[in-house]
Structure 1
Amino acid sequence: MKHNSSIGCSVSECNFHCKDDNYCTLDKIEVVKHSQTANTVECTDCGSFKKS
């Protein structure tokens, strides 16, 4: 499976996770936040996630 070397990913439950290594297969991802101001890593997520 072709992956994007610029987007590392270890979420194997995602439909876009490269099954061969720890990369994403998307050309671009959307990073989203959970609060008005993102102050920590826990305030953000990959909005492109799709359960496989």
Structure 2
Amino acid sequence: MQANKAIQCTVQQCSFHCGHQNFCSLDSILVGTHEQNPTVVECTDCKSFRRK
């Protein structure tokens, strides 16, 4: 698994998380929302997340 230094990530439960490094291994990610009118960071989601 190769860390993509352009995508930082702290979600250790994701299968794309690079172990002890806080980076994602994907080339790119999709960021989305679960709200109709997102106004704070908690309204956003990594749509590329895959559970380990």
TM-score greater than 0.5 by the shorter chain: yes
Instruction: Give the aligned partner of residue 36 of structure 1.
Output: 36
Aligned length: 52
State the alpha-carbon separation in 2 of the partners of residues 35 and 10 from structure 1: 22
Secondary structure of the 2:37 match is coil
State the alpha-carbon separation in 2 of the partners of residues 44 and 28 from structure 1: 16
State the alpha-carbon separation in 1 of the partners of residues 39 and 20 from structure 2: 33
TM-score (normalizing by structure 2): 0.90
Q: What letter corresponds to residue 22 of structure 1 in structure 2?
A: N
State the alpha-carbon separation in 1 of the partners of residues 11 and 35 from structure 2: 23
Which sections of structure 2, spanning at least 5 residues, go unmatched? none
Which sections of structure 1, spanning at least 5 residues, go unmatched? none
